[in-house]
Amino acid sequence: MKILFSFLSFFLSVLTWSQSTTNEPASFYGLGESAAHNHGIFDALGKNSINIFDSTVLNFYNPSTYNTLAKGNTLYSYGIQSRLSNYSEQSKTQLGFSGMLDHIAIGMRIKKQMGLAFGLKPYSSRGYKIVDKSYTGFDSLAYIYKGTGAIQDLFVGYSYGIVYRPKTKLSIGGNASYLFGTVANERQSLLIASGSNQGGLNRNSMIIRSFHYELGAYFQQKIGENHTVSLSAVYLPNQKITGYYQDEFYTASNINTLSTYDTIAFSRSRIHISNSSSLQLGLNYSILLPGLKRQTRVLHPKITLLASYSQFGSMGHDAIGLVPDFGMTSFSRMSFGMSFSPETKMLENIATLKGLEKITYRAGYFTQSLPYTKNGIQYQETAVTFGLGLPILAQMSASSVNFGFTLGKRTSNQNTGIQEQFAGLNISLILAPSNFEKWFRQRKLD
DSSP string, 102-116: EEEEEEEEEETTEEE
**Domain 2-431 top-level CATH class:** mainly beta
Parallel, antiparallel, or unpaired: how do β-strands 239-252 and 168-191 relate?
Answer: unpaired
Query: What's the burial of 68, exposed, middle or buried (CB within 10 Å: 0-12/13-18/19+)?
Result: buried
Query: Residue 318 CB: number of other CB atoms within 10 A?
Result: 12
Q: Where do the structural domains in the chain lie, given as residue ranges? A: 2-431
Contacts 24+ apart (CB under 8 A), 132-138: 133/192
Q: Distance (Å, rounded) from C-alpha 56 to C-alpha 399?
A: 8
Contacts of 40 (CB under 8 A, 6+ apart): 79, 387, 401, 402, 403, 404, 426, 427, 428
Residue 1 bridge partners (DSSP)? none
Report the run of H or E that residue 13 belongs to, with start and end. Answer: helix 2-16
Reduced to 3 states (helix: H, G, I; strand: E, B; else coil), residue 3 is helix
Confidence (pLDDT) at 21: 54
Q: What is the tens place of the pLDDT at every residue in 232-280?
A: 999 999 999 999 999 999 988 887 777 788 889 898 999 999 989 999 9
DSSP string, 185-228: EEEEEEE-BTTBB-EEEEEEEEEEEEEEEEEEEEEEEEETTTEE
| pLDDT per residue as tens, the chain (446 positions) | 444 444 444 444 444 444 445 666 777 788 888 865 578 999 999 999 999 988 889 999 999 999 998 877 789 998 888 888 888 777 777 787 777 777 899 999 988 889 999 999 888 888 888 877 776 656 677 888 888 888 999 999 999 999 999 899 999 999 999 999 999 999 888 877 656 678 888 999 999 999 999 999 999 999 998 999 999 999 999 999 999 999 999 988 887 777 788 889 898 999 999 989 999 999 999 999 888 777 767 888 999 999 999 999 988 888 776 776 676 888 999 999 999 999 887 767 676 778 788 899 999 999 999 887 766 778 889 999 999 999 887 666 778 899 999 999 988 765 566 788 999 999 999 988 765 455 445 555 44
Confidence (pLDDT) at 8: 45
Q: Distance (Å, rounded) from C-alpha 303 to C-alpha 284?
A: 11
